[in-house]
Structure 1
Amino acid sequence: MKEVKVCLIGSGRAGMVHAHNYTGSVPNARIIAVCDPMEETAKSAAKELGIELYYTDYREVLKNEEINAVYIVTPTKYHKEIAVAAAAAKKHIFCEKPMAMNEEECDEMIKAAEEHQVKLQIGFMRRFDESFQEAKAMIAEGEIGDIVLVKSHSRGPSKPKEWMYDIKKSNGPLAEVSSHDIDTVRWFAESELKSVYAIGGNFRNKEIKEQYPDFYDNVIMTGEFENGIHACVEGAQYVQYGYDARVEILGTKGVICLGDIHEKKILTCTPNHELKRPTTRSWKFLFKDAYLAEDRSFIRSILDDTEVECSGLDGKMAVRIVKAGNESIVEKKIVTL
């Protein structure tokens, strides 16, 4: 195979970030089709990408022998169904986070990819961020001593979509917002969490409290890894002040801080002695280069027949931790994994 031909399944915001990368920025790969159940959305996405082929049913995508790989960027509840079918059709799979609704679905996806000998990569793009990679190397070199604590938080400005309020359908902000943070702390700690304790509350969407009493838009989860390292994950939705994703890695001899809340370097000083600096508005800006790096990595794994850099097991572990965190919130107790 000299060129990987890709189809995007689910042409929302995250999907289109990947799709645009495949219009000339990923060597030896290009996007040739998009799929979305809403025909106007699919048609509009295809036009934006400068391609002609679009589908409204993913099953039709899988019949196209010209397509080598699919990007699954749909609501989580559809991931397993599409991934298993794609594997059976011999299509390589990139699946955005969260990987699936539960561990059993993750296992089905992993098994299908192994049986049909296709790649399965999960979309934890922060691992591919240049500063994250540099921090990983610094830790390996012992620059801050032994790791004591890894803290990661994500706060988004957007109001949750209707389906997100139902924890049974979305698995809550721990899944939708904090999956990246969960993978981040696990990646830096190089261990598995053995216990977690989480608390959550609905502070910014109180109008839906009666209809969705279990929904929380703010969550804090602490935990301990098997190797003794401590973890802290914090997530928030509808913060409105901007997109805010930062990490702190505390060692015995120092600390590493990742992320910047400011989108631009400009700082304004006004006559009334106020300082103004714009905040980051979107994850699309903050992790633009990381998305491109993970897309290139996925294609290399296909062409070179090497292991993906973010596996189905990585996705499954995050799903496991989300479930434990949600259980902890409801039962108000420490949960052992």
Structure 2
Amino acid sequence: MLNIGIIGAGRIGKLHAQNIVAYHRNVKIAAISDLFYKNLSEWANGLGIENLTGDYKDILNDPMIDAILICSPTDTHAQISIEAAKAGKHIFCEKPIDMDPDRIKEVLNCVKEAGVVFQVGFNRRFDKNFRGAYESVREGKIGKVHVVKITSRDPEPPTPEYIQVSGGLFMDMTIHDFDMARYLSGSEVIQVYATGDTLVDKSIADLGDIDTAAVVLKFENGAIGIIDNSRKAVYGYDQRIEVFGSEGCITVSNEINSLAVLSDKNGVLSEKPKYFFLERYKESFINEIGEFIDCILHNKKPPVNGVDGLISVLIAQAAKKSLQSGKAETVYL
């Protein structure tokens, strides 16, 4: 039996807890820590989780706990990762590890020294549709990759309180797309050009951020990447990719709740995309934790490691620099 502790029981922490209980055998949630743990009793009891605490160190100091999930606020990820590695715990850390590359490197050094599994929460790699596209590209079915196009648009912008601590659009939202671009292209990003503005909610500009962006990537293998982001798509959660190559093209469209399409004299009507990321990526969240567990039990390397987390932050920083300079910026890996 693998004993897991979860640090942070907000939206994503609760999701992982529920998925572990429902879908992963031979795994027990031994404890959950959260600053507001006293409000979690009814929810935790419903999942059969008895041990709640307000101090994450209780989890790190428990010799019976084998691994942890870090689902706490971003500014705590690095410190908890370092402490967890020193305590010999295997670590699943939500993105980003930190907003400072030097701090991330410190984490990676501690993880390497401790010899523990360290996986970063880029869940989209575990989506069956995107993984199918990835496998087709790797098998050479579309030839040499020329262009990777990613559309990622949220249904609603986050709260001002969230934006203030998010690190900005590129670090919070586009970071998933940077990782997906590397994943699909099979190559590293060497240059970034970014432009953007506040077209959805002008109050976001007051917080020093943007809500709409377009990013052009140049890959080491010569391919080009194009990412477009918006904090608000009125029709739902818009998640599409296309990889174009010398011998073909592969696309992934939005998931919808029903494949039924109504055609009549007024036109053709189909369902809108799934509305929220928890719906769209439900299976991917289950799969990524399954992979983490499998890596621990079978001494395997995680499919998304700390270096992947570091590189995506470096690309996000270059994108922010490009937005400010109005020029293409080099990504220094």
How does the TM-score come out when normalised to structure 2?
0.93
Residue 263 of structure 1 contacts residue 281 of structure 1 at CA under 8 Å; is this kept in 2?
no
Task: Report whether the alignment pairs 1:58 with 2:52.
Answer: no
Are the structure 2 counterparts of residues 164 and 114 from structure 1 closer, same or farther at C-alpha, using a change threshold of 3 Å?
same
Task: Report whether the alignment pairs 1:11 with 2:5.
Answer: no
Aligned equivalent of 2:84? 86
Residue 189 of structure 2 contacts residue 219 of structure 2 at CA under 8 Å; is this kept in 1?
yes
Quick one: distance in 2 between partners of 1:16 and 1:106?
A: 25
What per-residue deviation string (whole Å, max 9, x for no partner) do you get for residues 19-55 of structure 1?
Answer: 1121041232222222211234443542342311111
Residue 94 of structure 1 contacts residue 122 of structure 1 at CA under 8 Å; is this kept in 2?
yes
User: Within 5 Å, which residues of 2 pair with 1:1-337?
Assistant: 3-166=1-164, 169-209=165-205, 211-212=206-207, 214-268=208-262, 273=267, 275-337=269-331
Amino acid corresponding to residue 263 of structure 1 in structure 2: N
Quick one: distance in 2 between partners of 1:272 and 1:191?
A: 46
Residue 200 of structure 1 contacts residue 218 of structure 1 at CA under 8 Å; is this kept in 2?
yes
Could you tell me how far 1:302 is from its partner in structure 2? 0.7
> Which is worse superposed, 232-241 or 295-304?
232-241
Number of paired residues? 331
How does the TM-score come out when normalised to structure 1?
0.92
Amino acid corresponding to residue 216 of structure 2 in structure 1: T
Residue 127 of structure 2 contacts residue 283 of structure 2 at CA under 8 Å; is this kept in 1?
yes
SS of the equivalent of 2:14 reads helix
What per-residue deviation string (whole Å, max 9, x for no partner) do you get for residues 129-165 of structure 1?
Answer: 2222222222223211111011112211233122343
Could you tell me how far 1:218 is from its partner in structure 2? 1.0
SS of the equivalent of 1:23 reads helix
Quick one: distance in 2 between partners of 1:137 and 1:108?
A: 33
5+ residue gaps, structure 1: none
Residue 153 of structure 1 contacts residue 178 of structure 1 at CA under 8 Å; is this kept in 2?
no
Amino acid corresponding to residue 281 of structure 1 in structure 2: Y
Quick one: distance in 2 between partners of 1:244 and 1:77?
A: 28
SS of the equivalent of 1:310 reads coil
SS of the equivalent of 2:254 reads coil
Quick one: distance in 1 between partners of 2:14 and 2:218?
A: 36
Could you tell me how far 1:4 is from its partner in structure 2? 1.3
Quick one: distance in 2 between partners of 1:299 and 1:200?
A: 39
Quick one: distance in 1 between partners of 2:30 and 2:213?
A: 40
Could you tell me how far 1:62 is from its partner in structure 2? 1.2
Amino acid corresponding to residue 281 of structure 2 in structure 1: F
SS of the equivalent of 1:178 reads helix
Aligned-residue identity in percent: 32
Quick one: distance in 2 between partners of 1:40 and 1:278?
A: 39
Quick one: distance in 2 between partners of 1:306 and 1:273?
A: 52
C-alpha RMSD of the superposition: 1.9
5+ residue gaps, structure 2: none
Amino acid corresponding to residue 121 of structure 1 in structure 2: Q
Quick one: distance in 2 between partners of 1:174 and 1:44?
A: 37
Amino acid corresponding to residue 53 of structure 1 in structure 2: N
Are the structure 2 counterparts of residues 326 and 43 from structure 1 closer, same or farther at C-alpha, using a change threshold of 3 Å?
farther
Are the structure 2 counterparts of residues 48 and 269 from structure 1 closer, same or farther at C-alpha, using a change threshold of 3 Å?
farther
